[in-house]
A and B are shown apart, each in its own frame.
Chain A
Amino acid sequence: MKRNDGLLTKKFDKLLIANRGEIAMRILRAAHELGIDTVAVYSDADRYAPHVRYAKEAYYIGPSPARESYLVIEKILDVAQKAGAQAIHPGYGFLAERAEFAQACVDHDIVFVGPPAEAIRTMGDKQMARQTVTAAGVPVVPGTPAGTDEELIAAGSEMGFPLLVKATAGGGGKGMRPVYEAAALPDAIAAARREAAAAFGDGTVYLEKMIVEGRHIEIQLMADSHGNAIYLGERECSLQRRHQKLIEEAPSFAVDEDLRRRMGEVAVAAAKAVNYVNAGTIEFLMDKDKKFYFLEMNTRLQVEHPVTELVTGVDIVQEMLRVARGRKLRIRQEDVKMQGWAIECRINAEDPYNNYLPSTGLVTTSRAPTGPGVRVDTGVFRGYEVTPYYDSMISKLICYGETRAEAILRMRRALAEYRVMGVKTNIPFHQHMMDSHRFLSGRFDTKFVEREFSMSDREATDELEAAILATLVAHRQGQQASQIVSPGTRDASNWKYLGRWERLRR
């Protein structure tokens, strides 16, 4: 079926995944479970990546920088045609929210596993999105239209501080700057424009009132091409640093049954306003009086979708593929029940003891925790190189429990079992958070990590053991070296002995 807003649905049995890393793995697993063949694409940096090794077919698409490979629409479409893939799943990031890509797929008679191009276009422009959902009766955060530097500076003083400078094309915190006083506004506008222009090729910005002590809560939506739309409950995403989410939970500590229904119904109304189809997320800001405001719609699969999967039992990625094949949703709103609690920690290659600086390099050890209630979505392995070409996420560690307390205890256990070396990781940050009283009691907002949370009060508990372990390893290494060089005790020369010893060690 083809709709004139750029939606194409039809049955397919071969899917191209226009992405890499953990999300490419997630999608190809769902496809294989449904009996759909998969086609991977890869850049120079990713020849060894698991999504290449696990896919049915894989095609090279160019150099490591994404703009020369994963972001090149023509290359992706070429591979789809060459491989005979009738559908493309974009994952998140890269081409996932590019309306022209969704449209190009449909123009080539390829199913885009996502919403119609028109819905991406509307929701991708923050100004247009605000107007559209306002018309549908959805509350939005007070703000200004886009404008010149002078217009925005004037409007900012009128609106009052604190406020946010936001890019109309923005997302994930890029092209966004908080401003607490009039004097800082011009610099913030310049920085936001610069970052937005670099990231999205569009430096248009506007201003929005900052909701202080706000929580970031989002609703997962699922809609089919037959007019059915449901919400799969909320996710609590308030634990962020510089607008990058670090920990997500489902459900939210701050949402009860009644609030969930009201937020869900508003989210469904926003989706229907753009004839939305497939998986999507409405992000809300909630103030301390539990009033909620539309922030934006993400017209794609979210990084943090697993927490919703664990508490609702719905396989969101499989459901996306079914909807793209033109099928009806298998569940009705009244069938959606949230059970238990799920928490996701994003394990990133960054140093929590040094201002969270990204850490690049070769991963020399990678062993993920396992056991009951633990899920790890990753594309990283021993020998993987964390490069500046792609994001710094190593994995998503997701733990499930009957209650929030059980999920937290399980997360502590799993974090302690995780072994990553070669790059610094934020595992100690997550451990410290899981021990924090504020986190345990659910009293946090979107500024908690930046303003009130510190790693400096974390005590190193295993220094003695670390000292002993390193000393024992060093001692053993020294002894082996001295065995090699002590002369006269062997019939062969030391060089021969060294060669034999090294061969034995392999």
Chain B
Amino acid sequence: MLAFLSSQPVQTALIVGTCAALVSALIGVFTVLRGNAFAGHALADVSSAGGAASFLLGISPLLGFLGMAWIAAFGMEFLGVRKARERDLATGVVLGAGLGLSALFLYLDVTTTSTTGATVSVMFGSLFAISRGLIWPAILAVLAVFSLVGVFYRPLILTAVDPDLATLRGVSPRWMGLLQLLVLGLAVAVCALAIGAVLATALLIGPAGAAIRLSRRPGQAIVWAMLFALAAVWVGIWMAYESYYWFSGNAWPVSFFVVVLIFVFYVLAMLGSAQHRKLRRGAATALPGLQES
């Protein structure tokens, strides 16, 4: 355990991973409540083009992910699809264009800058290979997200749960939508840096999806989501570190472990809540006086 904690790549991985877990849990609850799982996923996928471009431009990958996530977010908003029927299609088309761009940038990365590992690290992440210089930007992004959500917590929740009621209460849906996209972009960038752009979805919707099954109250759900996300990231990093010894020198990727753990948590939460509901219903039929609250 000591060797594990004193290794520098592991320390960096733990810090960046913790950042990703915290923001994704917070933003994930809003995303899942609003039924925006596909949009969140599309945003993460498209941000890969930014990650790929950052190698070409020689800028920080975090900036690359963030820039592209914001462009895509505002692009989707700008396409201005109000009808739910067309929203999925427009999202899909933006997604296709973004991934096409990412194909081009990754190809140019390999041919012009000879960074052969770019495809893997942008798409699937390489948490143990993140440079230490990215720790502070990642922490800053987390602080920005937490303070923005902290200030606008109530209107954000209200817009996510019941947009009509929020409008009645004088909350501007346009500003809240914009704010939501802004923080979603930040969260996507940190997650993409940690476990890769196409796997970032796991952190963004998995812990939140599991948490919402366990608690209907947003505040509680956020706490549950953070617990799930932190457990998945920390245990995942530890397992990936140890897997070097388990498979005689062939370490398995960190992102793989994180994704599998999140999936297991989600399935467990689903089974747990189904069981719970069944028990409650059983109790209600056995004691007719006892009604479900």
Please determine whether chains A and B interact with each other in the same assembly: no
